[in-house]
Structure 1
Amino acid sequence: MRMVFRWFGEGNDTVTLDHIRQIPGVEGIVWALHDVPAGEEWPMDKILAVKAAADKAGLHLDVVESVNIHEDIKLGLPTRDQYIENYKKTMEKLAQVGVKVICYNFMPIFDWLRTDMHKEMDDGSTALFYEHKKLADIEPLELVRRITENSALTMPGWEPERLQYLTGLFEAYKDVTEENMWEHARYFLQEIIPTAERLGIRMAIHPDDPPWPIFGLPKIITSQDNIRRYLNLYDSPYNSVTLCSGSLGANPNNDIIGMIHEFKDRIPFAHIRNVRIYDNGDFIETSHRSQDGSVDIAGVVEAYHDTGFEGYARPDHGRHLWGEQCRPGYGLYDRALGIMYLWGVWDSLQRRSKA
């Protein structure tokens, strides 16, 4: 297991590279150019600036998250071909700086969705929270306003240049079905995976978050069966999955450990986090410790260990602790604590296997 840490860039993150390099066992950053709109080719000078900063800190930039897919590709519009060409050109540049994995998603409009960015927990910390009832009583535009208000930092998946066209996007998706989305994903993979194979970059689809339809939008990466179907759309190790225990774990019917064993050869990147699911289906993100949530994180780490996982892993969303002012879900303290929990489980398994 190779530990990495998500970083949003100079001036766009309360966490610095000096902070990250002090977390035991962290060897690289998970990064992106968050100021480049989806569909545009990434400028080489900006890529090299990130590389220079990472090199100075002694961290690699093997994993990118995300090179966002333009909505025209997801919608299957004739204009998608130009955006796919831009995507390939960006991949060419990323290969030049040593990128090995691109995490991306195929979620319509929203990359992820919560109803409360700072839900207070019993211990006084706050965390990202999803409440079913609120979604039934709120319009999408109002939800966007609440999530993005008073934030000086970009929210991944909620970039203003994308969301300013929200009303038009909902209209565009009005007649798009799940089967349409599957066909549009197949087209994308047939165009992209040969380039990925040539460059040695593994494309790793991220599950839908949460893993069910919202606001009538179709979702396809939601379950073990659907991940299997997606990987079979283009049978190549370069068509792979970012297995996110938190996204998939919001549905108690998803068997995360079973997925790790089934897809072990197609998981180059793992997001490891915990969620507590309530009886009514609401959920909140908790510490990484197994008993604090509904996902058996210790069992998840054991599954990775037992399947010989040598890919990249990062602690995903953390709580907001000790008064830290940070991007929701992406503070320093709880994610660093999460890493130490993951290493503790991993090291114990390593000792057991050598005994």
Structure 2
Amino acid sequence: MKMGFRWYGEGNDTVTLEQIKQIPGVETIVWALHDMAAGDEWPMEKILEVKKSADKYGFNLDVVESVNVHEDIKLGLPTRDKYIENYKKTIEKLAKVGVKVICYNFMPVFDWLRTDLYKKTEDGSTALFYEKARITDIDPMELVNKIASNPDLTMPGWEPERLKNLTQLFEAYKNVTEEDLWNNLKYFLEQIIPVAEINDIKMAVHPDDPPWSIFGLPRIVKSRNDLARLLKLVDSPYNCLTLCSGAIGSNPNNDVPAMIREFGNRIAFAHIRNVKIYENGDFIETSHRTCDGSLDICDIVKAYHEFGFTGYARPDHGRHIWNEQCRPGYGLYDRALGIMYIWGIWDTLQRTK
């Protein structure tokens, strides 16, 4: 297992590469060009700027999260082909700096959804929180304004330029079914995967977060059956998964360790985090420790260890602890603690083989 840490770039992250370097076992930064609009071809000079920063601290650039998929591709519009061509060119450029995995998603409009970015917990920390009842009656624009309220720390998937046309986006998806979305994903993968194969880059789809429909929008990467269907759309070892335990695991019907054991050879990237799920459907992100949430992180790490996982992993969202001022979910302290918890389980399993 190769450990990474998500980093938003120079001047765009409260966490520095110098700090990340001091977390044991971190080999790669998980990065992206966050100022690039979905559908744009990434310029080589900007890619090389990130490489220069990473090289200074001995990090590789093996994992990109994300090269965002333009909505026209998800909608299956005639304009999708030009955006797919840009995507192919970006893949070719990323290969030149050693990228091995591209994490992406196929969620309409919203990449992820929470109703509170700083929910206070019993121990005084705050965390990302999803309140099911609020989604049924909240205006989506209210959420957009809330999540985009800090222009200095933009949230991935909630970029203001993308969501300023929210009304038009909802109208565009009004008659799009889940089967339509499946067909559009198949078309995208049929175009992209051959280029990924040539450039030795695995395309690793992230599950829907949360794994159910929101605001009536279609969602198709929500369950074990969805993962199995997705891998068959283009049966290639380069058509892979980003198995996010917290995203797909927020539905208690999803057995995350079982999915890892079933799809292990097609998991290119592991997001490991815990959530506490409440009976009413709410959930909050907790520390990584198994007893603090509803997911068995010990068994999740064990499932990866059983088949000798050699792909990439990162601690996913952390709480905000010790008064850290940071991008919601992406501070230094709790994610560093998460890494050490994951390594503790992994190292113990190594010694007891």
Same fold (TM over 0.5): yes
**1:270 counterpart residue number:** 270
- Mapping of residues 244-259 of structure 1, within 5 Å: 244-259=244-259
Q: What is the alpha-carbon distance in structure 2 between the residues aligned to residue 347 and residue 324 of structure 1? A: 29
| Equivalent position of 1:192 in the other structure | 192
State the shift of 1:137 in Å: 1.9
Moved over 6 A (4+): none
Name the CA distance, whole Å, in 2 between partners of 1:64 and 1:150: 24
Q: How does 1:256-335 map to 2 (within 5 A)?
A: 256-335=256-335
Question: For residues 294-353 of structure 1, what are the alpha-carbon distances to aligned partners after superposition, in whole Å with 9 as ceiling and x for unaligned?
Answer: 000010000000011000000000000000000000000000000000000000000001
2:347 match = 347
Residues of 2 paired with 1:234 and 1:258: CA distance? 23
Aligned runs of 1:55-66 on 2, under 5 Å?
A: 55-66=55-66
Report matched runs for 1:162-177 at 5 Å.
Answer: 162-177=162-177
Q: Which moved more, 1:161-170 or 1:66-75?
A: 161-170
Provide the secondary structure at the position in 2 that maps to 1:268: strand
Counterpart position of 2:121:
121
DSSP-derived class of the 1:87 partner: helix
Name the counterpart of 1:93: 93
CA RMSD of aligned residues (A): 0.5
Shift, 1:3, TM fit: 0.4
Q: What is the match of residue 43 of structure 2?
A: 43
Report the Cα distance in structure 1 between the residues aligned to 2:73 and 2:328, rounded to whole angstroms. Answer: 29
Cα shift at 1:27: 0.6
| 2:229 aligned counterpart, secondary structure | helix
**1:31-72 deviations in Å (ceiling 9; x for gaps):** 000000000000110000000000001101100000000000
Identity of aligned residues (%): 71
Q: Distance in 2 between matches of 1:187 and 1:60?
A: 31
Q: What is the distance in 1 between the residues matched to 2:160 and 2:146?
A: 13
Per-residue CA deviation, residues 72-106 of structure 1 (Å, 9 max, x unaligned), is 00000000000000000000100000000000000
- SS of the residue corresponding to residue 63 of structure 2 reads strand
Deviations 1:269-315 (A, max 9, x none): 10000000001010000000000000000100000000110000000
The answer for the alignment partner of 1:201 in structure 2 is 201
Q: Residue type matched to 1:67 in 2?
A: V
Distance across 1 between alignment mates of 2:142 and 2:209: 19
Tell me the distance in 2 between the aligned counterparts of 1:257 and 1:38: 32
- Counterpart Cα distance in 2 of 1:146 and 1:29: 28
Name 1:226's counterpart in structure 2: 226
Is 2:68 the partner of 1:68? Answer: yes
Matched length: 353
Paired letter, 1:301: V
- CA shift, 1:150, in A, is 3.1
CA apart distance, 1:212: 0.1
Q: Which AA in structure 1 matches 2:48? A: L
In structure 2, the partner of 1:4 is 4
Question: Which residue type is aligned with residue 333 of structure 2?
Answer: Y
Residue in 2 aligned with 1:337? Answer: 337
Aligned to 1:263, the other structure's residue is in SS state helix
3-state SS of the aligned residue for 2:241? Answer: strand
Q: CA separation in 2, counterparts of 1:145 and 1:161?
A: 12
The TM-score normalised by the length of structure 1 is 0.99
Question: Which amino acid is 2:137 matched to?
Answer: D
Deviation of 1:151 after TM superposition, in Å, equals 4.2
- Give the letter for the 1:24 counterpart: P
Q: Distance in 1 between matches of 2:331 and 2:160?
A: 22
Mapped to 2, the partners of 1:118 and 1:142 lie a distance apart of 16
Per-residue CA deviations over 1:4-28 (Å, capped at 9, x if unaligned) read: 0000000100000001110000011
**Equivalents in 2 of 1:67, 1:155: separation in Å?**
15
In structure 1, list runs of 5 or more residues that go unmatched.
none
3-state SS of the aligned residue for 1:9? coil
TM-score by length of 2: 0.99
Partner Cα distance (2:162, 2:149) in 1: 16
Are 1:31 and 2:31 counterparts? yes
Deviations 1:155-185 (CA, angstroms, capped at 9, x unpaired): 0110111111111000000000000000000
